[in-house]
Amino acid sequence: MITATNVKKHFGDIVAVNDVTVSIRDGEVFGLIGTNGAGKSTFLRMVGGVLKPDSGSVLADDKPVYENPPVKADIFYISDEQYFLPNATPKDMAKFYRDYYRSFDMVRCEDLLRSFQLKPEGKINTFSKGMKKQLSVILGVCAGTKYLLCDETFDGLDPVMRQAVKSIFAGELSERDFTPVIASHNLRELEDICDSVGILHQGGVLMQKDLEEMKLNIHNIQCVFQNAQDEQAALGLLEIIRAERRGTLNIITVRGTEREIMNKIHSFAPIFAEILPLTLEEIFISETEVVGYDIKKLIF
Amino acid sequence: MISRNLFSKLVRQDLKKRIWCPVLIFIAYFLSMEVRLLMETEKYLKNAREYNDDLYDIATYVSHFFFGREAWIVSVVTCVIAFLCGISGYAYLHSRVQIDTYHSLPVSKTQLFWSKYISGILQFFFPFLIHTLICAGIAANRDAFGMETVPAVMSYIVLQLVVFVLAYSTTVLAAVLTGNVIVSILGTCVLFAYSTFVSVLTDLLAHRFFQTYYTYGNQLGVWFGERISCFSPLSMLLRLFARPYSVTQESAQTFFKYDSAYMWVLIAAAAVYSLAAYVLYLKRASEAAGRPIAFRAAEPVIRTMLVIPVSFFVAVFFSVISPDSASDKWFLFGLVFSFVILSVLIGIIFRLDIRGAFLHKRQFLFNAACTALIFVVLRYDVTGYDTYVPADAQLQGCAVSVCNLMPLTQHVRVSPFGYHHLGADDYRMANMVIQDNPSVTALARKAAEEQLTYQRFDYYEGIEQVPKYIDTMERQQQYQQIAFCYRLRNGRTVNRIYYIDLADADTLRLLSDIFADQDYKLGATPLFNDSWHIAFDVVRCKSNFRTGEIRLTPEMQAELIGTYQKEYMELALDTVIHVIPVGTVDFATKNDYGYTSYSGKMMVYPQFTETIALLQEFGFDMEAKLTADDVEKIRVQKNLDYSRYQNETAYTVSEEDTVEFTGKKQIQQILDSVVSDGFVWEIGSFADYFDGQYIVEIQYKAKDSIENDYHFIKGQIPDFVKISAKTD
């Protein structure tokens, strides 16, 4: 487990990360969301052992990461602009990382390169940005580390490739102790990958939630009641986050389980009541509005 | 075990990553070693006779020159290679992208630093070693590789390795201190040459502001060898490769040897720089990549250390190129201008932002105050530099060098390899020790108190009529330069130079006391120095009208020098000033290319009866006279410079003012009243027995005789000369 406690990092007068406390459980895909400059990269660089926190602690499996090679041997950090050796080929890079990561799987690497249609002997400097990102993920996965830190790695990947990467992650998650941490400025990019999400804003963590838990505990419902008294009574029983009314139709976002909410509504015999699909984006909009933020301005 | 494996893997990886580096190094060494050796040996074989005359063969050339003193040429290449290796190896510190990769790897910073460090050394060392071995092979192929070459090659390898590590560690330190490649290159230059720059600047400022500032020895040695601030690699390397300061026979003989003791200083400096780079590397934050200076705390120090000295350097430059270099006007302009510009520029560079120019106002004021303070201290001699003379109780001994009083040749051939510069002041400051002679400090105090300065004028037509010029020139005619070296009891050596006025009776009395001191004479010329005796080929003799050379056995040479020394020791300053010498003797070596004087032309006075007799016995009659029968004609020319330099030997003549005399009576009369310009020239303004109004040119009848210049003896200008030359 990665635990960051009250982590602060300044760059001169700029506060890049301010008092961040985050726990990333083993075996989950953790998404780190935030606008540019929110502190995602700085946070990941501290988790990756590149930067030393000014204060607070960053632990991986209860051991400090910075200047701790045995701990760093379990972490592979893919920066937003990954460095490749001059004039190197994917094979050269695989050999490069093999020297540092003892569990680097060369055979798997070659297989994955083939699957992604990347030439092992091709010059990386001729690759497109997307191809380089694919290569970075392949190298990261093949390094066999427990933690894989991906900084904006998925941004710009086409849906097919994202699906492919997702399936690789799924495979890794099922086969070994693997915890990817993915930073992105785009929530939609992470929606179908992450188990848990933390939102960073202005250097601090706005919130950290388990996605499944969030999806199970928040619902979007449209309903029409027989009269105004029923309507008022029914809505009064619900924990409404957002409410919209179009004529007699109520569109409400409500906290609670599906069964619990529907039971309460049906007890007033509505004319019509159904659950609408809720996107991760809508969930976050609702959640952050509660704490006083307009997330549209923060993330989308 | 794993760690060692990883370390070697890291080194290998780095080598692979920078494979262009050893390739470039290989080419650079090929050109500077093999190609150069082939060219030089070819040149040697073409001019073998010339080299052989200098008593060394091709094997000696290879071991003493190529692998010896000329190693500096390859050391320059080595330094450039060190910059290349250092910058390319640690440039990743200046790139955020690379730092993210390297610092996220499961490797400690220690391993990362030393693996790159070792890799850089290996990239240099293997190509260099291969080239050295190839050169040794080439030398062997040309019969230029003897047993003595083996230690020369070994020390050459060690030398270049040390030079590389020194320059390399400096570059690495600069790379670690900075966060930007361009600033890192500038930083390397600053670190590499800072103390050199400061030494040169100190010398320039002292020359400008202190009248009595004086250094002796070769200038490189003065700048870099004598100072404790010799901490930059460039200063150290210049000192290592500077020719030995040939003021002693021992140092002159080491002309082609390195100062092995100083090599340890280089090694220690390389270790210190490397360690400093390592410690700073550990402390360096990864986020420093991209910032000009990696450590914020270092910025004010760097700013002050750059702005103040560079401002003074620019100020000196402005004053030198200005029409009046002595004036403060352009100096101050340069100082203020460069101070402001540099402060602003460094502010911008440190922030990579134009707004950085106006930050740090307090430091700007602090630096300005320091600069102003330094200027005031220098300009108004607040420390009393020019008036300082140590107290008698502080003095252990003194050396005094009086310009023109005793001759000393500038070049001495003391080893089979060539000549060595030997300035008169240099030799005396290093070899003379006068003790318990109160006249020395009395003269120094008098000179320091009087603060005489020699004013020079830019000449123009009619300047001779300007009263200020006339007054000044008259006053300065008798000025003489005198250098003092005070050896203090605390081990320090203090040098000062003054002007003294020979027209001042007190000054002349004190100077006579010093000249009468045996230690002065013994220390004034290597001719009287037992440790400097070397074999002469000839003694070149000159009387008023004749020249000749005599070859003597070593025993005869020793007898002549002993006799001459005995009589010279009794010589008084009054004699030098007023008595016309009968001749000069010059102990010299000779080869196909000419003579090399060892002693300079030493005066022989009429009082030196034993010397004169001995010379006559050895075959040269110093007292032989020239008769009118030997002379075809005499030309007397008016000295156009006489009004300006009455008592000096400088002269300009005009054909219009030339009168020829062919009558025997007139010729004889002139011959009886002239003194050779050669005698006068040697002791300059000390000679008070000649009249510089005319230049007398004697043309001998013998075809192979040369024409010689003479001056009339004071008060003995024949009337017919005055009338013919239409002067009173």
Residue B680 lies in a domain: yes
Contact state of B100 with A52 under an 8 Å Cβ cutoff: no
Tell which wins on pLDDT, B710 or B704.
B710
Contact state of A79 with B106 under an 8 Å Cβ cutoff: no
pLDDT the model gives residue B162: 95
Q: Which long-range contacts (CB under 8 A, 24 or more apart) does B180-189 make?
A: B180/B94, B180/B290, B180/B291, B180/B292, B180/B352, B181/B87, B181/B91, B181/B94, B183/B292, B183/B293, B183/B349, B184/B87, B184/B90, B184/B91, B184/B94, B185/B83, B185/B87, B188/B83, B188/B86, B188/B87
* Same domain for B703 and B558: no
Closest in A50, A70, A71 to B103, CB measured: A50
Taking only residues 32 to 61 of chain A, the set having a beta carbon closer than 8 angstroms to any beta carbon of chain B reads: 45, 48-52
pLDDT surpasses 70 at B96: yes
Residues of B in contact with A70 (CB under 8 A): 106
pLDDT the model gives residue A299: 47
Which chain A residue has the Cα nearest residue B8?
A99
- Outline which parts of chain A fall under CATH 3.40.50.300: 2-209
pLDDT the model gives residue B50: 58
pLDDT the model gives residue B728: 42
pLDDT the model gives residue B534: 65
Interface mutation vs chain A, best among B103, B282, B293, most A CBs within 10 Å? B103
pLDDT the model gives residue B483: 92
Q: What percent of chain A has pLDDT over 70?
A: 93
Q: Look over chain B and give the mean of its residue pLDDT values, rounded to a whole number.
A: 85
Task: Report pLDDT digits (tens) over A196-247.
Answer: 888 887 777 767 777 777 777 888 899 999 998 988 898 889 888 888 888 8
Please tell me if residue A70 touches chain B, with a CB cutoff of 8 Å.
yes
Which chain B residue has the Cα nearest residue A74?
B106
Residue B339 lies in a domain: no
Q: Average pLDDT in the A126-146 region? A: 92
pLDDT the model gives residue B725: 58
What pLDDT band is residue B122 in, cutting at 50, 70 and 90? very high
* Same domain for B642 and B519: no
What pLDDT band is residue B595 in, cutting at 50, 70 and 90? confident
Q: Which domain holds residue B688?
A: 628-724
Q: Look over chain A and give the mean of its residue pLDDT values, rounded to a whole number.
A: 86
Please tell me if residue B97 touches chain A, with a CB cutoff of 8 Å.
yes
Tell which wins on pLDDT, B129 or B214.
B129
pLDDT surpasses 60 at A84: yes
CA distance A201 to chain B (A): 21
Look at residues B487, B510, B528 and tell me which one is the last residue of a structural domain: B528
Q: Average pLDDT in the B543-549 region? A: 87
Contact state of B101 with A83 under an 8 Å Cβ cutoff: yes
Contact state of A51 with B108 under an 8 Å Cβ cutoff: no
pLDDT surpasses 50 at B79: yes
* Same domain for B549 and B688: no
Tell me: domain A2-209, CATH 3.40.50.1000, correct? no
Interface mutation vs chain A, best among B100, B113, B296, B299, most A CBs within 10 Å? B100
Q: What percent of chain B has pLDDT over 70?
A: 87
Q: What percent of chain B has pLDDT over 90?
A: 45
CA distance A275 to chain B (A): 46
Task: Report pLDDT digits (tens) over B654-678.
Answer: 666 788 888 888 899 998 899 988 8
Q: Average pLDDT in the A11-21 region? A: 87
Contact state of B285 with A52 under an 8 Å Cβ cutoff: yes
Closest in A71, A85, A100 to B105, CB measured: A100
CA distance A197 to chain B (A): 23
Task: For residues B488 and B441, give the distance between their C-alpha atoms in angstroms, rounded to a whole number.
Answer: 13
* Same domain for B595 and B714: no
pTM of the model: 0.81
CA distance A186 to chain B (A): 22
Please tell me if residue A264 touches chain B, with a CB cutoff of 8 Å.
no
Look at residues B528, B560, B594 and tell me which one is the last residue of a structural domain: B528
Task: Report pLDDT digits (tens) over B428-478.
Answer: 888 899 998 999 999 999 999 998 988 877 677 788 788 888 888 878 888
Look at residues B266, B295, B324 and tell me which one is the last residue of a structural domain: B295
Closest in B100, B105, B111 to A79, CB measured: B100
Match domain A217-298 to its CATH number in 3.30.70.100, 3.40.50.1860, 3.90.1300.10, 3.30.505.50: 3.30.70.100
* Same domain for B255 and B111: yes
* Same domain for B417 and B562: no
pLDDT the model gives residue B194: 93
pLDDT the model gives residue B708: 74
Contact state of A100 with B107 under an 8 Å Cβ cutoff: yes
Closest in B13, B100, B287 to A83, CB measured: B100
* Contact between B483 and B497 (Cβ < 8 Å): yes
Please tell me if residue A99 touches chain B, with a CB cutoff of 8 Å.
yes
Residues 6+ apart with CB under 8 A from A49: A65, A66, A67, A68, A71, A72, A75, A77, B103, B104
Rounded to 5°, the CA angle B62-B65-B71 comes to 110
- Give the H/E segment covering residue B374: helix B361-379
Please tell me if residue A91 touches chain B, with a CB cutoff of 8 Å.
no
Tell which wins on pLDDT, B703 or A111.
A111
* Same domain for B511 and B561: no
Residues 6+ apart with CB under 8 A from B644: B464, B473
* Same domain for B216 and B80: yes
CA distance B9 to chain A (A): 7
Taking only residues 294 to 323 of chain B, the set having a beta carbon closer than 8 angstroms to any beta carbon of chain A reads: 296
CA distance B287 to chain A (A): 7
Which chain A residue has the Cα nearest residue B102?
A50
Please tell me if residue A101 touches chain B, with a CB cutoff of 8 Å.
yes
Task: Report pLDDT digits (tens) over B487-533.
Answer: 999 988 899 999 999 889 999 999 999 999 999 999 888 888 877 76
Q: How many domains does chain B have?
A: 4
Find the distance separating the first CA and the last CA of chain B, reported in whole Å. Answer: 102
Residue B443 lies in a domain: yes
Q: Which long-range contacts (CB under 8 A, 24 or more apart) does B54-59 make?
A: B54/B416, B54/B417, B54/B418, B55/B416, B55/B417, B56/B416, B56/B417, B58/B142, B58/B143, B58/B144, B59/B139, B59/B143, B59/B144, B59/B145, B59/B146, B59/B148, B59/B149
Please tell me if residue B13 touches chain A, with a CB cutoff of 8 Å.
yes
